[in-house]
Structure formats: C-alpha cells, structure tokens
C-alpha cells in the first residue's frame, strides 16, 4: 500500500487532520431558532387550516422594513405558542425573501410543533438547501422532536453533516498542501455530484477534460464495487487530491511515488500526469490506492482493519483493471512473471504463511525481491478467486469470519475453503498450476506513437505498414475516442484498445485540421503470440 517512508508521511499528515472537525455555527442572530420556548405540539383541531403552499407568489414585493415587521410578529406568536399565526407571518415575509435560511428553519419548527410532519420536513429541506448548516443545533432542538424519526429528517441530517464534514476536510487538506510547500490557492474544490461522501481538490492547471475523466472513473468504480463486492459506503468524508508532477515532488519527496491513500485521514493524493512506465506495466496507481480507500472504509464499518495480505491482494487485483461497459475487469499485469518465477523456483510463500504476515513481514523489511513476490502472490491469489467467479462469496465469508473470531489468518483459510468447497492446501495446489499456464500478452500496438498534453492525445509518428497507417492515421492527428470511449491520456488510449481482440475492427475518432472523423483500425496479433 505504501512504503515505510509514506507511513511516516501518514503520521505527519494525521497531525494536521486529527483536530479537524465540523465547525459549530451558532444560530443566526437575525432570528435564532431558540428565541421561542420549546413546547409540546399543539393539538390540531378537526378543521385544521390548510398548510401554506411552499412557493406562494407575492402580488407585491415587501420592503425590507415590512419583512422585518412580519418576522417580528412571527417571533411573538411563537412565544405565545400560536404556531399557525406565526406561520402566516413567516409566509408573508417569505414571499419577498424566499431563501432566508433561518426563517425557513423556524417554519419547519412551527410545522413540527403542529405535528404536521410532511410540511416540517419540506421546510427543513428548503432551509438546508438555502444554506442552513448548524446541524449540531438541529440534532438537539426539541422543536423538531415530532419529525426526529422520519426518513426525511434522518436523510437531511446525514447529508447535511456529511456536507459540513466535507467542507472541513477540504479546508484541512488545503492547509496540509500549504505545509508541504504547495500553493493551495491554485487548487479548486468540487464535491462529487453522484457520491455525497466524496470531494475532489485539483490543481487548476490540470486540463478540465483530464479532471472530468478522473472523477468519472473514480465515481463509476466506487459505484461498481459497492454494487458487486463491498458492503458499506464511507461513513466519513473521502477527499481525492489530484496533483501535477511539480507538486508531486513536494508532497511525496521521492522519484517514484505516484499516489498514496492516507488511511489516517481518509484522503487519496494522486498525480494526474501520464506515467509511461505505469502504463507499460498495466498498473493504475489511482485505482489501486482508491481500492484501499473503499475497502478500508468498508472494514472500518465492520469494526476491523484488514490484514496487509488481504488489502494488497484486493488493491493489486483492481489496480490493473480496465473499464468494460459498466464494469471494471482485472487483467494480467507485469507482476505475473514474478508470481510464475516464484512458483517455478519454489520461493513463493505458502498461503498458510502469507495470510498471517504482519506489515513488516509482508514488506520483507524492504527486501525488494521478497517484497515483490509477496505482492505478486497476493495479487494472483485474488485473481484466481476472481476468475473462478468466487470473489463475492469469498469476501462475504471472510468478513463474517473476522467478525466472529478476529483471527484474520484463520478467517482467510475458512473463507477460501467455504468458497471453493475444499481444503486450502488443495486450492493452493490448483492455483500454482493455474498461474504457470497464464500468458501475459503484449500491449496492443497499432503502430502509432502517441503523447498526451493537457488532456489531448496526439499522434507524433506512424510506423510504415502498421494498422494505423493502413487506417489513414497521420502524425498530427488527435485521438479523441476509441471504441466510443473518450480518452485524455496514453493509458486510457491503450486500455480502450486492449478490450478488442486481434483481427477485430476498432473505431478511432480523430481530429485533423479541426475536423472530426472516424477511422477503422484492425488490431494485428502481437509478435510471439499464439
């Protein structure tokens, strides 16, 4: 997951984030919700006055002084516990000032005191949408007791608290970046539109197309894992920080780290720069580290921290995945030869041993060769479980076993045996035979050299007689999409090509001299393959 150097960085970052908490905002001084006494809900008469429509239109706009007068009379009626008249006064003021968060909150309280729950929740939602964020007060305000157990109130509270925590997390992240010598003012914050617990912070010089592609990839991936494998979404906010190469060197202070999930602060920091080595190795650092994020949040909800074998096995499995339709499909990567070599030499650690390793033991005290073997063994153990269609069954049983005895080594053994229906030693023997039979195919090559800058993939050279030349692709062309999938980087382009088999036609959308056109490219079988 991270080197010991990165673990030290985690502790340093935790000091920054450890004290972060949603700020307590006192009730607005304009018309604080606790200026009225709490009271038991008034018993409505048989002929209860119909609720005032939420969007009543005013025939004439009131002056600010008239609005204040209505608010003043409404507060007086609240003190007298005449909630209906208070609502009439608030509504008159609202017609000219429809987005006053405190007034909307007070109206929600009045409806709650009248036991008109639906209207109370409606106005409370409007208050939150208008900017009300004092959720600490909302949780203890006795005026809202009548709606405390309604689904609408619970959802508002959950959403509102998460939003406030996200704001606090983003502010703390900016301070963290500044402490690393990064100009935090160059970073823009955006909350995820599809996942309420997630926000993004990215450097403004990163092309919008690149940021949008990364956001969509992570959002789609999270929803895919929650649908197919994981059991719980994060209970606390997740922040994803997208940095460029310049700030990467400041944050990680080494030449190789491209991204890290800092579990102590539930934050993923990852570079957006193309890394040719990572693409050639078929490794996606962002997906790898984001898998750690989603998986750890899942296990935290169940009250335990995953073992390093399990955490790295799952992360390396999906750290090589490519998107196919709505799913993410793992693929063999450059670690396969390492696993195969260890099996042939007899140096692969037995499953009964590796599932029980502590982090220092798993990292082999930073012995690179042993460390690489442990990673490869974990990855291809999970790949074998995945390929057999047993990953979900294995995952659920593992979580159940850990909850029962907390011995993660024993839990791994029982989960494997439950998933396969045979002893773990027998499954391991089958796995060793399976590993040796697998083949790592070369990356697809259409004979075009490409680079990516500012989210635009451009062709710099075309090999004579190649599939690209036969399709009419020329140097200077910009590749915008492959097989209908928009691409903004070299890895995205090769990933989109890899889902096609040799001999299959592939549609490539290019831009030449400002004009879009589609060309058909037929992939050829890579040299040396059967």
Are 121 and 211 within one domain?
no
Are 180 and 231 within one domain?
yes
Burial class (CB in 10 A: 0-12, 13-18, 19+), 379: buried
Residue 397 clears pLDDT 90, i.e. is over it: yes
Q: What is the pLDDT of residue 530?
A: 56
C-alpha distances (whole Å) from 230 to each of 78, 382, 431 are 48, 15, 24
Question: Of residues 510 and 159, which shows the higher confidence score?
Answer: 510
Render pLDDT for 447-490 as a digit per residue (tens, 0 to 9).
888 887 777 889 988 889 888 889 899 999 999 988 888 888 77
Residue 439 clears pLDDT 90, i.e. is over it: no
How many Å apart are CA 18 and CA 252, to the nearest integer?
A: 20
The pLDDT confidence band at residue 281, using thresholds 50, 70 and 90, is low
3-state secondary structure of 435: helix
Residue 309 clears pLDDT 70, i.e. is over it: yes
Side-chain-side CA neighbours of residue 445 (13 Å): 14
pLDDT above 90 covers what percent of the chain? Answer: 50
Q: What is the pLDDT of residue 15?
A: 27
Are 68 and 202 within one domain?
no
H or E element in which residue 308 lies:
helix 308-318
Would residue 233 count as lying in a domain?
A: yes
Q: What is the pLDDT of residue 369?
A: 87
How does the average pLDDT of the chain come out, rounded?
83
Tokens read off for 70: 């209505």
How many Å apart are CA 93 and CA 74, to the nearest integer?
A: 9
Q: What is the pLDDT of residue 38?
A: 34
Question: Of residues 249 and 7, which shows the higher confidence score?
Answer: 249
Task: Using the 3D structure, point to which of 301, 317, 332 is the last residue of a domain.
Answer: 301
Q: What is the pLDDT of residue 10?
A: 35
Are 200 and 296 within one domain?
yes
The dihedral formed by the CA atoms of 122, 125, 131 and 135, expressed in degrees to the nearest 10 = 120
Are 314 and 401 within one domain?
yes
Are 100 and 58 within one domain?
yes
What CATH number is associated with residue 52? Answer: 1.25.40.10
Q: pTM to 2 decimals?
A: 0.68
Question: Of residues 495 and 474, which shows the higher confidence score?
Answer: 474
How many Å apart are CA 270 and CA 239, to the nearest integer?
A: 11
Would residue 137 count as lying in a domain?
A: no
Give the residue numbers spanning the domain of 516.
448-522
Residue 5 clears pLDDT 90, i.e. is over it: no
- Is 245 in contact with 256 (CB distance < 8 Å)? no
Q: What is the pLDDT of residue 194?
A: 87
Q: What is the pLDDT of residue 325?
A: 80
Q: What is the pLDDT of residue 455?
A: 78
Render pLDDT for 199-245 as a digit per residue (tens, 0 to 9).
999 999 998 888 988 899 999 999 999 999 999 999 888 999 999 98
Render pLDDT for 341-382 as a digit per residue (tens, 0 to 9).
999 999 999 999 999 999 999 987 667 888 899 999 999 999
Residue range 36-45: mean pLDDT, rounded:
32
201 secondary structure, DSSP code: E
Are 191 and 266 within one domain?
yes
The dihedral formed by the CA atoms of 35, 39, 45 and 48, expressed in degrees to the nearest 10 = 40
Rg (CA), the chain: 29
Task: Using the 3D structure, point to which of 275, 301, 327 is the last residue of a domain.
Answer: 301
Q: What is the pLDDT of residue 45?
A: 31
How many Å apart are CA 87 and CA 488, to the nearest integer?
A: 54
3-state secondary structure of 356: coil
Residue range 325-332: mean pLDDT, rounded:
89
How many Å apart are CA 110 and CA 106, to the nearest integer?
A: 6
Are 422 and 497 within one domain?
no
Would residue 528 count as lying in a domain?
A: no
Sign of CA dihedral 291, 294, 295, 297: positive
Are 242 and 277 within one domain?
yes
Render pLDDT for 11-34 as a digit per residue (tens, 0 to 9).
233 322 332 223 233 333 233 333
- Is 259 in contact with 232 (CB distance < 8 Å)? no
Question: Of residues 277 and 389, which shows the higher confidence score?
Answer: 389
Q: What is the pLDDT of residue 41?
A: 32
Are 174 and 291 within one domain?
yes
Would residue 139 count as lying in a domain?
A: no
Total residue length of the chain? 530
Are 426 and 459 within one domain?
no
Q: What is the pLDDT of residue 385?
A: 98
Sign of CA dihedral 95, 98, 103, 108: positive
Tokens read off for 174: 């900016």
Render pLDDT for 48-100 as a digit per residue (tens, 0 to 9).
333 444 444 444 688 989 999 999 999 999 999 999 999 999 999 998 889 89
What CATH number is associated with residue 517? Answer: 2.30.42.10
Structural domain tally of the chain? 4
Q: Which strands, in side-by-side order, build the sheet including 267-271?
A: 187-191, 198-203, 238-243, 267-271, 259-262
How many Å apart are CA 109 and CA 87, to the nearest integer?
A: 10
Residue 445 clears pLDDT 70, i.e. is over it: yes
Would residue 348 count as lying in a domain?
A: yes
Would residue 144 count as lying in a domain?
A: no
Would residue 489 count as lying in a domain?
A: yes
Would residue 123 count as lying in a domain?
A: yes
Distance from the first to the final alpha carbon of the chain: 35
The pLDDT confidence band at residue 36, using thresholds 50, 70 and 90, is very low
Task: Using the 3D structure, point to which of 132, 163, 181 is the last residue of a domain.
Answer: 132
Are 110 and 167 within one domain?
no
What CATH number is associated with residue 267? Answer: 3.40.30
């Amino acid at each position: 997951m991270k080197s010991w150097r990165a673990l030290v960085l985690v502790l340093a970052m935790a000091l920054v984030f450890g004290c972060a908490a949603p700020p307590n905002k006192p009730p607005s001084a304009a018309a604080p919700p606790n200026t009225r006494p709490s009271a038991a809900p008034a018993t409505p008469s048989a002929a209860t006055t119909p609720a005032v429509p939420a969007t009543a239109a005013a025939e004439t706009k009131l002056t600010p002084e008239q609005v204040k007068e209505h608010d003043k009379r409404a507060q007086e009626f609240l003190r007298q516990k005449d909630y209906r008249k208070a609502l009439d006064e608030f509504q008159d003021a609202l017609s000219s000032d429809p987005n006053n968060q405190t007034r909307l909150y007070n109206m929600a309280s009045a409806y709650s005191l009248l036991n008109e729950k639906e209207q109370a929740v409606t106005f409370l939602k409007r208050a939150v949408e208008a900017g009300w964020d004092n959720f600490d007060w909302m949780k203890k305000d006795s005026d809202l007791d009548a709606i405390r157990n309604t689904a609408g109130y619970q959802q508002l509270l959950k959403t509102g608290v998460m939003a406030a925590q996200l704001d606090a997390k983003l502010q703390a992240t900016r301070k963290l970046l500044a402490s690393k010598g990064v100009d935090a003012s160059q970073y823009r914050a955006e909350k995820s539109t599809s996942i309420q617990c997630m926000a993004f912070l990215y450097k403004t010089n990163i092309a919008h197309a690149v940021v949008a592609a990364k956001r969509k990839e992570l959002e789609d991936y999270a929803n895919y894992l929650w649908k197919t494998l994981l059991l719980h979404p994060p209970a606390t906010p997740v922040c994803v920080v997208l940095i460029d190469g310049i700030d990467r060197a400041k944050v990680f202070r080494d030449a190789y780290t491209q991204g890290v999930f800092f579990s102590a602060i539930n934050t993923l920091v990852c570079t957006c720069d193309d890394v040719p080595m990572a693409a050639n190795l078929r490794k996606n650092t962002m997906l790898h580290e984001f898998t750690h994020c989603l998986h750890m949040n899942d296990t935290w909800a169940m009250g335990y921290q995953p073992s390093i074998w399990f955490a790295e096995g799952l992360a390396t499995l999906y750290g090589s995945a490519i998107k196919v339709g709505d799913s993410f499909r793992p693929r063999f990567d450059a670690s396969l030869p390492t696993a195969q070599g260890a099996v042939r030499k007899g140096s692969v650690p037995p499953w009964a041993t590796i599932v029980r390793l502590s982090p220092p033991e798993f990292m082999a005290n930073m012995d690179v060769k042993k460390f690489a073997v442990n990673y490869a063994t974990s990855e291809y153990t999970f790949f074998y479980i995945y390929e057999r269609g047993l990953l979900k069954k294995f995952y659920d049983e593992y979580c159940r076993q850990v909850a029962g005895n907390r011995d993660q080594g024993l839990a791994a053994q029982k989960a494997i045996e439950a998933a396969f229906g045979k002893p773990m030693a027998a499954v391991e023997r089958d796995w060793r035979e399976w590993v040796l039979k697998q083949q790592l195919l070369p990356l697809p090559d259409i004979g075009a050299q490409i680079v990516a800058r500012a989210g635009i993939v451009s062709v710099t050279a075309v090999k004579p007689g190649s599939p690209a030349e036969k399709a009419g692709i020329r140097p200077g062309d910009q590749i915008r999409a492959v097989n209908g999938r928009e691409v903004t980087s070299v890895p995205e382009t090769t990933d989109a090509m890899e889902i096609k088999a040799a001999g299959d036609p592939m549609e490539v959308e290019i831009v030449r001299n400002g004009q879009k056109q589609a060309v058909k490219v037929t992939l050829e079988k890579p040299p040396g393959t059967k």
